[in-house]
Amino acid sequence: MRYNPLQLLNEVVKHVVRERDGVEERKYYRFRPSRFYGGSAVADAVGCILKCGFCWGWRVNSSPESCGEFYSPSEVAVKLISIARSRGYRYARVSGGEPTIARRHLIQLLAELRARGFGKNYTFILETNGILIGYDPSYARELAEYSFIHVRVSIKGCTPEIFETITGADRSFFELQLRALKNLLDAGVSVHPAVMVSFCSREDVEYLTERLRDIDERLVHQLEDEVVILYPHVVELLKRRGLRPRIAIDPRSWNYVTEV
């Protein structure tokens, strides 16, 4: 049976978000430097509203009640800035889980980063599936208050049907990802789309391209391909879900493979 990500949100939040002394805290399971974006400081969060069959963080996100520790926005800001400055990075981001499920925490994190001078020379990259931003346009307007943010909306497949196959969620929620792009553009937020293409044909990509063109021509030229990385635990999950990517990346060599 297909699930509703907005209903799943209520269950996940019980385990990964709490309020203490008027501050919304969120669970994270690690803080680390990363090579992506030319070097970025990363806070890996616990909890997501999708169950993607290629997720590299699925073990953590499938048991949010037993993984991670709670951190306040100020604690996360200090850790990200410390990593970025020690490594000479210009980017920070939240990864692992879905950062938008703790809205007050995320907005306060951005405020804490700005208060510490982060916005002057750094960029915060919000990596999201976009569903909650697509559902509520006010979320995009709230993010627009922070000029140093850039949003990467990761679209799960090129069509509603592929979205449903690889996430297990009802295909209607595919539309909220596209609506997130429009809401962010309308609010004046820097944004670009990425798409998981490992399960898509050329025709599927053309379908998505036309949908993006209907929103804004610029999105077509900014579209980033996302490909499954065959970490051993990801291969395990793919087999469990009966998914076979058309193309993937072997993490041992970082080369593309087409026979998976």
- pLDDT per residue as tens digits for the range 84-114: 999 999 999 999 899 999 999 999 999 999 9
- 79-82 own/partner pairs: CB under 8 Å, 24+ apart: 79/31, 79/41, 79/43, 80/31, 80/41, 80/42, 80/43, 80/113, 80/118, 81/41, 81/113, 81/116, 81/118, 82/41
- Confidence category of residue 58, pLDDT binned at 50, 70, 90: confident
3-class secondary structure, 34: strand
pLDDT at 259 over 80: no
Instruction: Look up the CATH number of domain 5-257.
Output: 3.20.20.70
Residue 147: how many CA atoms within 13 Å on its side-chain side?
5
Alpha helices in the chain (DSSP H): 5-16, 58-61, 73-87, 103-115, 118-121, 131-135, 137-143, 160-167, 174-187, 202-215, 217-222, 232-241
Each residue of 171-211: pLDDT tens digit? 999 999 999 999 999 999 999 999 999 999 999 999 999 99
Does pTM top 0.85 for this prediction? yes
Backbone angles phi, psi at 197, to 5 degrees: -100, -5
Q: CA–CA distance from 37 to each of 34, 196, 229 (Å)?
A: 8, 18, 17
Q: Show me where the domains of the chain are located.
A: 5-257
Residue whose token pair is 């050329």: 202
Residue 34's pLDDT is: 95
Residue 258's pLDDT is: 85
Residue whose token pair is 């007050």: 104
